[in-house]
């Protein structure tokens, strides 16, 4: 499981905060990574993994706090949804590069949390913080169930 984000751009930290919330609820053999750098490095992070869950903030125009679950192994991510990235290569592009290179895990799930504010500053907006409250348990349960299928 990989949490993405930037702690200094308000709701962009949602993936990091969610990953920290799920820590301790995952099976011991599930690795949890926090990444604030270039998403292209994710390809090395998930190398050899049978499954990966990526947690990130998104901006699709939906209500702040809306949770999006995307099956990246089956279809490309909508690039516009991940357009708030300050990186040269965003998450959607990194996943497609991994797919082309044959380096995308067979199970690749992206949880996107709809953000409201991506300007400079610390702290999540209330709608985003509230959305994360129940998602950590949901993620832990999904990962545990998937382990039995792998």
**pLDDT mean by block of 10 residues, the chain; 150 residues:** 95 96 90 88 93 95 94 89 62 92 96 95 96 90 86
- Of 125, 123, 110, nearest to 6 by C-alpha is 123
Residue 78's pLDDT is 85
- Local structure of residue 50 (DSSP, 8 states): S
Structure tokens at 109: 């799930």
Q: Judge contact between 25 and 137, C-beta under 8 A.
A: yes
Give backbone dihedrals phi and psi of 20, rounded to 5 degrees, phi first. Answer: -65, -35
Sign of CA dihedral 36, 41, 45, 46: positive
> pLDDT (tens digit, 9 = 90+) per residue, 13-43?
999 999 999 998 998 889 999 999 778 799 9
- Kindly report the pTM of this predicted structure: 0.92
**CATH fold of 2-149, please?**
Rossmann fold (3.40.50)
Query: How far apart, in whole angstroms, are the C-alpha atoms of residue 69 and residue 142?
Result: 12
Domain residues of the chain, as ranges?
2-149
Return the pLDDT at 81: 78
Q: Strands 67-71 and 107-114, how do they pair?
A: antiparallel
């Amino acid at each position: 499981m990989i949490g993405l984000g930037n702690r200094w751009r308000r709701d962009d930290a949602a993936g990091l905060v969610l990953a920290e919330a799920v820590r301790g609820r995952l099976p011991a053999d599930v690795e949890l990574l926090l990444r604030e750098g270039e998403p292209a490095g994710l390809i090395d992070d998930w190398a050899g993994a049978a499954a990966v869950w990526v947690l990130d903030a998104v901006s699709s125009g939906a209500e702040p706090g809306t949770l999006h679950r995307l099956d990246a192994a089956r279809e490309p991510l909508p690039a516009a949804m991940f357009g708030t990235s300050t990186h040269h290569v965003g998450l959607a592009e990194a996943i497609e590069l991994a797919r082309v290179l044959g380096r995308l895990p067979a199970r690749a799930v992206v949880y996107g949390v709809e953000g409201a504010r991506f300007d400079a500053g610390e702290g999540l907006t209330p709608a985003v913080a509230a959305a994360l409250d129940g998602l950590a348990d949901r993620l832990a349960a999904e990962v545990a169930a998937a382990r039995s299928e792998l």
